[in-house]
């Protein structure tokens, strides 16, 4: 049995935000971190991504709001939340008091609401702002700004002008589009410092006992292992389209092997969401598993693995040959 951890540097960054490790929570699955605080020290994670907050308290959509699927779940919570004032006074203060890296997710009915949220958070202790322009659980699909490059660009541009310039903003995109690379380019041109990929996919379940839709909101967002290949594909395509932008990848991550797929596709860090519903310690477990997976494949650091699957076979061989030469030189120097 191994008694020491493999030596892999897990440090990474999302724009200007330095993280001790690349595992964060996903928005909507652990509220603002308090629920997970009873299982581990939230300061040990790469960061906490809070549930998307809106200006006013919101009760969300009609019940029932969750349904199991063969490899994940469907939810139609509908952005339920306490509103920005209560969030700042209670949740944000708790995160600061507990030393967590904090990514605040914001959502709005229109561009003005996004702007007002950014202004409200201007002087608050946050590390990064995630702009949720892709939630599928809204009554009007017209609110899914990320389905249209122009609408997505307008929101991100307005938020960038209103937000604290020292706080990076990430646009959260939906896979429910024809060309996600085009949406990524539009938000990059509008001033996004990075991109979060992906939000849930729009789905539906029919209750065969009632012969009616299982969810009160009819449709919902599909998450869990079923969507992981879609999410990895989106990270791959967006990394190719805007390779200079850091990506936060998510979608059905349950293990370190799952997380590694996202890293190799181009993500600088990952978020763990649905997995916490049956294993609240999953984010912490995945940090160790990811370290093992990287060590097993000979990587010296996490950053070396980011986008590694995009490299040619010759480039990959060159990386490992370089590490071998460095190791040989180090051994020779010790003699």
Binding-site entries for substrate: 51, 75-79, 132, 199-200
- Could you list the residues known to form a binding site for FMN, using ranges: 27, 51-52, 132, 172, 198, 224, 251-252, 273-274
Query: Would you call 16 helix, strand, or coil by DSSP?
Result: coil
8 Å CB contact between 231 and 198: yes
8 Å CB contact between 132 and 121: no
Catalytic annotation present for 135: yes
Which residue in 23, 165, 36, 137 sits closest to 91, CA to CA?
36
- Sheet with 247-250, strands from edge to edge, namely 23-25, 269-272, 247-250, 194-197, 169-172, 128-132, 102-106, 48-49
The C-alpha atoms of residue 327 and residue 7 are separated, in whole angstroms, by 13
Phi, then psi, of 277 in degrees rounded to 5: -70, -30
- Could you list the residues known to form a binding site, using ranges: 27, 51-52, 75-79, 132, 172, 198-200, 224, 251-252, 273-274
- Looking at 29, 135, 234, 268, which residue is catalytic? 135
Residues 6+ apart with CB under 8 A from 30: 36, 48, 51, 276
8 Å CB contact between 169 and 131: yes
Q: Residue 279: beta bridge partners?
A: none
Which residues are catalytically annotated?
A: 135
């Amino acid at each position: 049995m191994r008694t020491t951890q493999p030596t892999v540097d897990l440090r990474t960054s999302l724009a200007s935000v330095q993280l001790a490790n690349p595992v964060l929570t996903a928005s909507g699955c652990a509220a603002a971190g308090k629920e997970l605080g009873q299982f581990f020290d939230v300061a040990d994670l790469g960061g906490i991504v809070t549930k998307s907050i809106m200006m006013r308290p919101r009760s969300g959509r009609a019940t029932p709001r969750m349904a199991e699927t063969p490899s994940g779940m469907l939810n139609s919570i509908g952005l339920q939340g306490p509103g920005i004032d209560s969030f700042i006074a209670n949740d944000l203060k708790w995160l600061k008091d507990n030393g967590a890296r904090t990514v605040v997710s914001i959502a709005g009915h229109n561009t003005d609401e996004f702007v007002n949220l950014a202004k409200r958070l201007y002087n608050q202790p946050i590390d990064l702002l995630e702009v949720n322009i892709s939630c599928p659980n809204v009554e009007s699909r017209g609110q899914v700004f990320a389905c249209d490059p122009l609408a997505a660009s307008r929101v991100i541009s307005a938020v960038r002008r209103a937000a604290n310039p020292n706080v990076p903003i990430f646009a959260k995109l939906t896979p429910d589009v024809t060309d996600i690379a085009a949406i990524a380019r539009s938000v990059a041109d509008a001033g996004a410092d990075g991109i979060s990929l992906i939000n849930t996919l729009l789905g539906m379940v029919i209750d065969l006992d009632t012969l009616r839709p299982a969810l009160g909101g009819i449709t919902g967002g599909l998450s869990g292992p079923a969507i992981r290949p879609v999410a990895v594909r989106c990270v791959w395509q967006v990394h190719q389209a805007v390779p200079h932008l850091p990506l936060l990848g998510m979608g059905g991550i349950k293990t370190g092997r799952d997380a590694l797929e996202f890293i190799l596709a181009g993500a600088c860090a990952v978020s763990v969401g649905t997995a916490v519903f049956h294993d609240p310690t999953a984010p912490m477990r995945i940090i160790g598993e990811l370290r093992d997976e990287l060590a097993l494949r000979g990587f010296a650091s996490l950053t070396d693995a980011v986008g590694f699957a995009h490299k040619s076979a010759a480039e990959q061989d060159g990386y490992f040959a370089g590490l071998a030469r460095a190791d040989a030189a180090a051994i020779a120097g010790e003699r």
